[in-house]
Structure 1
C-alpha cells in the first residue's frame, strides 16, 4: 500500500485514486465503524482475486 500511496502523491489523487485501507491483526481493531467505499480482501491472492467492494447499508436495496 505504501507504494500505491507514493504513486498517488506523484500522479495526484484525480489521476490515481486510492480507497482507504485498514489492516487489523486482532479482532478488536475491527470494532471501529467502517468508512465506505471500502475494499475487503478475502484471501492473499494476487491481482485482486478474492476482493469485494461492499456498499454502505443505506445503498443496498433488497
Structure 2
C-alpha cells in the first residue's frame, strides 16, 4: 500500500511539473489518503503485536 502511495506521489509531481493541475491534484489526494491508511494499519499491527506479548520490531 505504501508503494501505491509513492506511485501516486510521483505521478502528482510529474503532472505538476508538466502543468496538468487536475491530474496532479487528484494524484496527490490519492497519495495522501493511501499514506494515512498505511499509517493506521501500521499502528494497528504494532498494537496487536504488543498485545500478543511480542516486542515491537
Q: TM-score, normalised by structure 2?
A: 0.35
Task: Identify, as 1 or 2, the structure richer in strand.
Answer: 1
Larger radius of gyration: 2
Q: TM-score, normalised by structure 1?
A: 0.33
Task: Identify, as 1 or 2, the structure richer in helix.
Answer: 2
The structure, 1 or 2, with the larger RCO (C-alpha pairs under 8 Å, 6+ apart) is 2
